[in-house]
Structures are given as C-alpha cells and as structure tokens.
C-alpha cells in the first residue's frame, strides 16, 4: 500500500512514550512536514522522570526539564500542539485508560496520519524495544482501530464534544540505537 501523499495530509499526530522519542525517531521528517504547512501535534505518554544520567538532578525536576526541552524542540520543528499525559516513566502499560486518553487526543486534534512507536520487540536493537515504547505503540494502534472511529467506544467523550474520528494512515517509527 502506498502512503498518502503529503499534499493530501492536513494534520499529523505523533504518539510516543517519552519526551525526546519523536526527536530521535522522526525529528527530520516532522521538520519537513511542518515546512510543507502540515500541522503537527504530539501526544507524549510519560512524564520523562527517569531520563538523564545526572544523579544530582532531583527526579521531580527531571520531568520539568525534559518537558521544557520537548516543548522547545517542538517549537523549533514547528509543532503546534503538545500534550503530556504524565504517566510515570518506565511504568507505561497499554491499558484501557491510556487508550482512552489517546483516543481523546485523536478526536481533539483530528489527524489524517498518526506516527507511533512500534508495538513489537526488536531483538536486533533492544533499546528501541523499551517497554514504554512498545506500550505506547500498542495503545496508540488500538486507539486508532477500533476506538477513535467507534461512536460506542468511550461514549463519555461524546459529552466532551469529541466525535469519532477516522485516522487515514499510521506510520511506525524506527529508532536506531
């Protein structure tokens, strides 16, 4: 199946586990899309508190630092919308609750294309198979189908004015580590 041409795409939503994942996984591609006038948003599942290697930075400050860095990087790339779901870093699971939050983001942003992390383990590059990456990818693909398009999935979102939305295509990032 051929990908939809960029000129037919208005909005793209990237769903990732951590602050900085999208920058490593697709930053250059995001920059190309925004340069073409495509609106790009991010939905980042965790708060990023386990990032970094400096033991002198308090863990409660790490999430503040990483989220600021992500916002700054997003501005440089032309990202117009950014949402942090603030799950604990390293503890992400593809739960119904996470799926619902991603469905909410999809219905709110209404992307034509979703960019996600692979839900599959890569035995050749275990760093790309971080459990949070796989959980975010699995929850995102389940949010696309069947949930985001299904009026009867998470019916309370209708009360928020969030009508079902059909994502036209999903791209899976490859992260070389």
| Bridge partner residues of 173 (DSSP) | 117
Is pLDDT of 11 > 70? Answer: yes
3-state DSSP assignment of residue 115: strand
pTM of the model: 0.94
Domains defined along the chain, listed by start: 6-173 (3.40.50.10320)
Per-residue pLDDT of 43-88, as tens digits, reads 999 999 988 888 898 888 999 999 999 999 999 999 999 999 999 9
In the structure, what pLDDT confidence band is assigned to residue 177 with cuts at 50, 70 and 90?
very low
Cβ-Cβ contacts under 8 Å for 144 (sequence gap 6 or more): 106, 114, 167, 170
Per-residue pLDDT of 82-121, as tens digits, reads 999 999 999 999 999 999 999 999 999 999 999 999 999 8
């Amino acid at each position: 199946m051929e990908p939809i041409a960029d000129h037919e795409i208005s909005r793209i939503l990237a769903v990732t586990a951590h602050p900085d994942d999208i920058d490593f996984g697709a930053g250059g591609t995001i920059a190309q899309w925004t340069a073409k006038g495509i609106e790009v948003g991010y939905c980042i599942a965790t708060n990023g508190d386990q990032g970094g290697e400096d033991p002198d930075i308090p863990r409660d400050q790490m999430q503040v630092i990483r989220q600021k860095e992500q916002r700054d990087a997003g501005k440089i790339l032309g990202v117009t919308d950014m949402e942090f779901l603030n799950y604990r870093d390293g503890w992400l699971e593809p739960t119904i609750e996470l799926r619902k939050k991603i469905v909410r983001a999809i219905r709110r942003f209404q992307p034509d294309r979703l960019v996600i992390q692979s839900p599959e383990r890569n035995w050749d590059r275990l760093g790309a198979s971080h459990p949070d990456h796989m959980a975010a990818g699995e929850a995102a693909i389940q949010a696309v189908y069947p949930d985001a398009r299904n009026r009867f999935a998470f019916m309370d979102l209708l009360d928020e004015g969030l009508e079902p939305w059909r994502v036209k295509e999903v791209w899976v990032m490859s992260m070389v580590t």
